[in-house]
A and B are shown apart, each in its own frame.
Chain A
């Protein structure tokens, strides 16, 4: 008897190999090296692995003319997955820069790099998921990494609290998603997304629709769409700021890309149902996020509510259910991820300078003390509103055109109204940045050592956020090709 050795798509799996190799190297370096060498090695390994994965994902995005399946068709190798992996890996790279001088990480910095790589690898798997098993596997992989990452500064009680909260709520969300997957499998008898779509509702539509609803709830937890957002402010506030920046950018991107692929492929027959459901979730997120952000004083909480409101904006193009919406989602995600990581990077820098949590008042005078940080944060805030010169201006415009094409003017109007509401709190931050500093508020003990890594992260985010505005044509080309393989219901 002989066993056929399977054909392995080494090229398609190369981003995973880069990340997994990085995890092993980072773990070993964190136990074998001591002192500053450990931190330097941890960062170097993480950066190398992420750059390797980035290069591999970009190469794949160039060569993948048509999509193909990997590992018995359980993973998709196509441009949608490639582009999503590029976004997630870039967010990981920026977060790795923020970790370099994270003051509380201390001994565990090496582990933090390994966990960051593990979260990125899990997301890379998640966005390529082509069946329900890999969907759940990827979700749990990156979620568990994030739960631990939230607690990587155990000297801070808030960090532990955030981790525990995230673990419990996230575990609940995963359980709902798993139950939904089981119901969908029970109704259709299939695991592959495309096969579920082809099998249709079968004899029991109720079972399939219940499963769909539970899967949506599970993903909504990860996207932090209202009313499944309740963990977001506490976790974003309590988690170490580099982790928060990474979560805000990457988790959202990954979960939304998966939602797009899985809804269009597995549930084309129920499109009328899931598009309106997503529209309702979008309206709820816009309301909760924007109104909640109005009353926040802590900057990380404010950005958390802002992230809930952007979950609403990001759900709108998916809810439109047309090809324009798919392109709009992918395009929106790129400047949004840069704005998220960038704004949390500025918060992290300010936090280290002040030695305490940053409130809006804590930003007072930033524009005069650190002009680059101040200008960057101002651009990020204007970008979140959707003003040029950041790509989010075109992203929002694109999302609205997708809704217009669908004929959902009402959702456009709601989106526009809440954009106007958001101006209030985003400009509140800008006002604080350029307010004249009260001299008494200057930090005792002088300014901290220059943190080049965080400056690089801030400038890189700024370049991406603004670059997506000026480089819109090639990007539109990229995202159009990325969603070309999907069949949209509307």
Chain B
């Protein structure tokens, strides 16, 4: 067999399985369904995994929450870099301090920007 095809075979089988599971679920729900033939109120509701759908939630989520979540992610990931440097600071010395001072300054600039722009209000 061709080496590339050979190495892609597991992926292919995996894809087939991934396709087969949801397909069989949909097909079996039609085959095995024991729904009453007449239209009841419960039948007309969308299926929500057995949980009856209530009224729609009243309060809206402000889009600002997403903004804050994204900003949090950005700064959080960048701060992760502080940990390795903290463990190594004795070995690298002042170069690390200078480098990190600069890195933190670069973090402060966007923080100041988003703050002044009112993204954190």
Given the known inter-chain contacts A28-B113, A31-B112, A32-B116, please indicate yes or no for A3 contacting B4, CB distance below 8 A.
no
Contact of A204 among B4, B88, B91, B113 (CB under 8 A): B4
Say whether B36 faces chain A, with CB atoms less than 8 Å apart: no
Chain B interface residue count, Cβ-Cβ cutoff 8 angstroms: 13
Q: Are A1 and B113 in contact (CB under 8 A)?
A: no
Contact of B109 among A1, A5, A24, A207 (CB under 8 A): A24
Q: Are B92 and A3 in contact (CB under 8 A)?
A: yes
Q: Are A27 and B88 in contact (CB under 8 A)?
A: no
Bound-state CA distance A28–B110 (Å) is: 9
Q: Are B3 and A1 in contact (CB under 8 A)?
A: no
Residues of A contacting B92 with CB < 8 Å? 2-3, 5
Give the interface SS of chain B, mostly helix, strand, loop or mixed: helix
Say whether B117 faces chain A, with CB atoms less than 8 Å apart: yes
Say whether B95 faces chain A, with CB atoms less than 8 Å apart: yes
Say whether A447 faces chain B, with CB atoms less than 8 Å apart: no
Given the known inter-chain contacts A1-B91, A3-B92, A5-B95, please indicate yes or no for A31 contacting B4, CB distance below 8 A.
no
Residues of B contacting A27 with CB < 8 Å? 109-110, 113
Residues of A contacting B4 with CB < 8 Å? 204, 206-207
Bound-state CA distance A115–B113 (Å) is: 14
* In the complex, residue of chain A having the shortest beta-carbon distance to the beta carbon of B105: A24
Bound-state CA distance A24–B105 (Å) is: 11
Given the known inter-chain contacts A3-B88, A24-B109, A203-B3, please indicate yes or no for A31 contacting B116, CB distance below 8 A.
yes
* In the complex, residue of chain B having the shortest beta-carbon distance to the beta carbon of A2: B91
Bound-state CA distance A32–B116 (Å) is: 8
Bound-state CA distance A299–B4 (Å) is: 51
Contact code string A21-35 (vs B, CB < 8 Å = 1, else 0) = 000100110011000
Nearest CB on A from B100, distance (A)? 13
Given the known inter-chain contacts A203-B3, A204-B4, A207-B4, please indicate yes or no for A28 contacting B91, CB distance below 8 A.
no
Write the residues of chain B forming the contact surface with A, with a CB cutoff of 8 angstroms: 3-4, 88, 91-92, 95, 106, 109-110, 112-113, 116-117
12 A/B residue pairs, CB under 8 Å, sorted by A? A1-B91, A2-B91, A3-B88, A24-B109, A27-B110, A28-B112, A28-B113, A31-B113, A31-B117, A203-B3, A204-B3, A207-B4
Additional 19 contacts, C-beta under 8 A, given A28-B112, A31-B117: A1-B91, A2-B91, A2-B92, A3-B88, A3-B92, A5-B92, A24-B106, A27-B110, A27-B113, A28-B109, A28-B113, A31-B112, A31-B113, A32-B116, A203-B3, A204-B3, A204-B4, A206-B4, A207-B4
